[in-house]
Chain A
Amino acid sequence: MRMIVVALACFIVITGTANAGPEQDRVKLLSLYKRQHPDIKFEQYADGALALDPDSLAQFRSIMEFPPFAGELEKGEKLWKAPLRSGKTYADCLPNGGRMIAGNYPLFDNTRSKVVTLEDVINDCRVANGEEAYAPGDPKTMGVLMTHVRALSDGMKMNIKVEGEGALKAFEEGKKTFYARAGQLNFSCASCHVDNVGNRMRAEVLSFAVGQATHWPVFRGGDQLVTLQKRYADCHLYMRHVPDALGSERYNNLEYFHSYLSNGLTLRANVFRR
């Protein structure tokens, strides 16, 4: 009897704390943002800095009525439909034919013991079907293709899962990158996107970290395609860190942690950013 009670107690503790770390981190951040900006509703985090800047939001909405990057989206659709060397298509490789899946990525692949991004899945599909892998984040190939791949999940809610020891370790690695101060200017991601949200650096309003992973690729200035990891590298470069190659283990872990923070928010690919 005693054994059963102990076993039961252990079970409750283990299941109860399975996601305590990541979920606690997310909720803690949300309550901090709520204190900083009580008027911003949860769904608005997906708008990024625009949520804090009504003029820019109005400009964004009018540009999005006739997006200047529509041509790139057409190219993306063409790439998506083109059969690979084996005759198969991307839709044959991806779960659910590629629809409503982007919110599940990155995921932790237990058999390979690593984080797998949606770009990784696309490249795995290419290689398995006789093609060469695209360079991660390359705006002419992978980036254009991702405009369509991610748009197939528009409206889906972010739903990143951190389950098991390996997943938790990858999540913690990403968290470390996010919070560690480094580089000549001694900024971490959190210096701006946790501690200074809503403040301005020159004319730029600093955005919430929550919601940042929901809307990629973006078109900066209307025509420059930027993927999420390209943005990490640019941000690192501007803040005088040494950026990684896109698709590095460190960036994948960062994307895993960073995307988890956006859980519950609605995906919308291909947006205009200044």
Chain B
Amino acid sequence: MRILNIVMYCLPVFIFCMPVHAQQAAKEATGKALVFGQAKGNCLACHGLPGLGAELTGNAGPPLIAMQARFPDKSVLRAKIWDATATNPASFMPPFGKHGILDEGEIDQVVEFIHGL
């Protein structure tokens, strides 16, 4: 009976939390998929990413490591991905936001994933 009570109490908490967890997991998976995939983000065409099983990574850009140390302000990282040529006209990096390579939501997902590296 006691166990049943606990379950009864906990159930709403579980139900309430579940979608959030699922949503976050999906968001992370999509951010990673965009970074790894060749069709859209394709970040690894130029950037190395040690660990996480990344294969055939390029080296035309700096590796995606220590991102929080390099970009304490997440919005600076986002602006860089949106249009790197705004702050450095010679930058090789495609302007993912400005040229609509990724949509705004996709850029957010990529920023979330990369900033955690």
- Listed in ascending order, the chain A residues whose CB lies under 8 Å from chain B are 184-187, 191-192, 195-196, 199-203, 206
Contact A203 B56 (CB under 8 A): yes
Name the contact of B59 in the complex, choosing from A186, A187, A200 (C-beta under 8 A): A200
* A199 and B92 alpha carbons, distance in the complex (Å): 12
Chain B 10-40: CB-based contact to A (< 8 A → 1; otherwise 0) = 0000000000000000000000000000100
Name the contact of B58 in the complex, choosing from A185, A191, A195, A201 (C-beta under 8 A): A201
* A184 and B92 alpha carbons, distance in the complex (Å): 13
Could you show 18 A-B contacts with beta carbons less than 8 Å apart? A184-B99, A185-B99, A186-B85, A186-B95, A187-B92, A187-B94, A191-B92, A195-B92, A196-B60, A199-B58, A199-B59, A200-B58, A200-B59, A201-B46, A201-B58, A202-B44, A202-B57, A206-B60
Name the contact of A202 in the complex, choosing from B56, B92, B101 (C-beta under 8 A): B56
> What are the nearest 6 A-B pairs in CB distance?
A199-B60, A185-B94, A200-B58, A203-B56, A201-B58, A202-B56
Query: How many inter-chain residue pairs (CB < 8 Å) link A and B?
Result: 36
Whole-angstrom distance between the Cβ of B50 and the nearest chain A Cβ: 15
User: CB-CB < 8 A to B56: which residues of A?
Assistant: 202-203
User: CB-CB < 8 A to B95: which residues of A?
Assistant: 186
Contact A184 B100 (CB under 8 A): yes
* A187 and B59 alpha carbons, distance in the complex (Å): 16
* A192 and B58 alpha carbons, distance in the complex (Å): 12
* A151 and B34 alpha carbons, distance in the complex (Å): 45
* A184 and B44 alpha carbons, distance in the complex (Å): 18
* A186 and B95 alpha carbons, distance in the complex (Å): 7
* A202 and B59 alpha carbons, distance in the complex (Å): 8
Decide yes or no whether B45 CB sits under 8 A from chain A: yes
Chain B 94-115: CB-based contact to A (< 8 A → 1; otherwise 0) = 1100011100000000000000
Contact A186 B99 (CB under 8 A): yes
User: CB-CB < 8 A to B99: which residues of A?
Assistant: 184-186
* A185 and B45 alpha carbons, distance in the complex (Å): 12
Contact B60 A184 (CB under 8 A): no
Whole-angstrom distance between the Cβ of B34 and the nearest chain A Cβ: 15
What is the interface residue range for chain B against chain A? 10 to 19
Contact A196 B92 (CB under 8 A): yes
User: CB-CB < 8 A to A199: which residues of B?
Assistant: 58-60
Contact B85 A202 (CB under 8 A): no
User: CB-CB < 8 A to B101: which residues of A?
Assistant: 184-185
* A187 and B100 alpha carbons, distance in the complex (Å): 15
Whole-angstrom distance between the Cβ of B44 and the nearest chain A Cβ: 7
Indicate the member of A192, A195, A199, A206 with the most B CB atoms within 10 Å.
A199
User: CB-CB < 8 A to A185: which residues of B?
Assistant: 94, 99, 101
* A46 and B41 alpha carbons, distance in the complex (Å): 33
Contact A184 B58 (CB under 8 A): no
Contact A201 B94 (CB under 8 A): no
Contact B60 A186 (CB under 8 A): no
In chain B, positions 46-100 with a C-beta closer than 8 Å to chain A are 46, 56-60, 85, 92, 94-95, 99-100
User: CB-CB < 8 A to A187: which residues of B?
Assistant: 92, 94
User: CB-CB < 8 A to A191: which residues of B?
Assistant: 92
* A114 and B75 alpha carbons, distance in the complex (Å): 51
Across the interface, name the chain B residue whose C-beta is closest to A183.
Answer: B99
Name the contact of A186 in the complex, choosing from B38, B46, B94 (C-beta under 8 A): B94
* A47 and B46 alpha carbons, distance in the complex (Å): 23
* A118 and B35 alpha carbons, distance in the complex (Å): 43
